[in-house]
Structure 1
């Protein structure tokens, strides 16, 4: 997030069969008549969106959800990548139609972009090394004056670290900044930082694949709702909201939760 990164070309488009196109009208949802929607993501927040280390493909909960939304609305979805620090402004400027990367719905962000209705609620937990014994909750971490937090600036974990774990100083030297969430986890594994804040489900995914190298400690540090982002005034907000409601109602999101948070194991 500190360095600028060039945009990477998207990897695929969602082709719709006549049957898939008919799902929109059959379900009483808006029909976007094959419109192309450009979705941008960071690919750095498993299991929501990431590059599969085995296949090299871009996959995750949000990809599956967005493809389902495209099917229901009779739209073609294409994907591009950018860094987190560039994403909100790029969507605000109209470079992309939709942004998805586990983006917390916050009032200050609503000044730049429109949000969809929430598609997921999450809670922040402390991710630490498996052999960590010096602290077991936020209070214990704060009292350990030489312990460091890894975070991406401008993210919910960053602000949780500042205001709920430490002293409210956004320049606190105990917070080490990294460009991607994955980089914070690598720094944790390497011993360069001592704790990373993460959504509990994503954090559990890292724990499950760490072979004892990582664990979650302490209780939840607040909850947050995730939403897709759009340029202010976008005509896509209402159709996407209608599709989100349909996917919640018919159990599709529940199936995706089971697939990505319970069944999928990175690297297997």
Structure 2
């Protein structure tokens, strides 16, 4: 009997030595973390705070959408001039960065339902005699951010190769030039320009709105093949509208 028991113990020890007694391996797949591209130089939609964190309206909206859609995201600060190529090359999975939905962009990207209504406005430097979009045709220097809706509109108005049209890599560089009087006026999205004006009320700038500038809409973008991901994003976007989260976030940035 003792011999039999000893043999059974030896068999058990040998089995454990061969791995039979190891804990079961968790084979559940690790949830994908989607990389969200953001040009963090477009306050209040996206910027870097004093701690180095990306913050802004688009950040809060996209995070709320992700929470409702059940997806995990991480932010990647991406220069505007290369953000669409970065998406196409799969270095990021999503763009949430004040991207205007256009027919041209729809050819290479899949857009969500609109999440923000925008319009171009003119920020006029102090002392400049500009009161309407037509006055920009006589201006010496009109600034825009390269590759934006404002750039496209001003190319049509002033001419693609006009010496009066000055392009900047980012909105902060453009607005700094306005502050310094380096351009007569800047053309840009209403939310971003109004945000700059809010913190510079004493500098004598003039904000011009015009019906000649059509309404535009921002959308969240993914690659055309990522239809399942876009379905989740649109579902999440509908949910944040339905539960009141969108209105609360909007009011925290744009309440008058």
Taking structure 1 as the reference length, what is the TM-score of the superposition? 0.78
Give the alignment partner of residue 37 of structure 2, picking from 22, 37, 40.
40
The aligned residue for residue 216 of structure 1 is 207
Give the alignment partner of residue 258 of structure 1, picking from 245, 251, 254.
251
Structure 2 unaligned regions, length at least 5: 1-29
SS in structure 2 at match of 1:112: coil
Q: Determine if contact 1:34/1:74 at 8 Å carries over to the other structure.
A: no
| CA deviation vs aligned residue, 1:207-260 (integer Å, no higher than 9, x gap) | 110132233124241111101111111121110011111112222211111101
1:207 aligns with 2:204: no
Give the alignment partner of residue 195 of structure 1, picking from 171, 185, 190.
185
Q: Determine if contact 1:118/1:225 at 8 Å carries over to the other structure.
A: yes
1:237 aligns with 2:234: no
Q: Determine if contact 1:89/1:112 at 8 Å carries over to the other structure.
A: no
Q: Determine if contact 1:93/1:231 at 8 Å carries over to the other structure.
A: no
Counterparts of 1:217 and 1:247 in 2: how far apart (Å)? Answer: 32
1:88 aligns with 2:80: no
| CA deviation vs aligned residue, 1:8-54 (integer Å, no higher than 9, x gap) | xxxxxxxxxxxxxxxxxxxxxxxxx94311101110111111123x5
1:182 aligns with 2:175: no
Give the alignment partner of residue 159 of structure 1, picking from 152, 161, 166.
152
Deviation at 1:179, TM superposition (A): 0.8
The alignment of Structure 1 onto Structure 2 pairs a total of residues equal to 225
Counterparts of 1:81 and 1:107 in 2: how far apart (Å)? Answer: 25
Runs of 4+ displaced beyond 6 Å:
none
Counterparts of 1:175 and 1:93 in 2: how far apart (Å)? Answer: 31
Structure 1 unaligned regions, length at least 5: 1-32, 264-268
Q: Which has the higher helix share?
A: 2
Taking structure 2 as the reference length, what is the TM-score of the superposition? 0.82
* Matching of residues 64-83 of structure 1 within 5 Å: 64-83=60-79
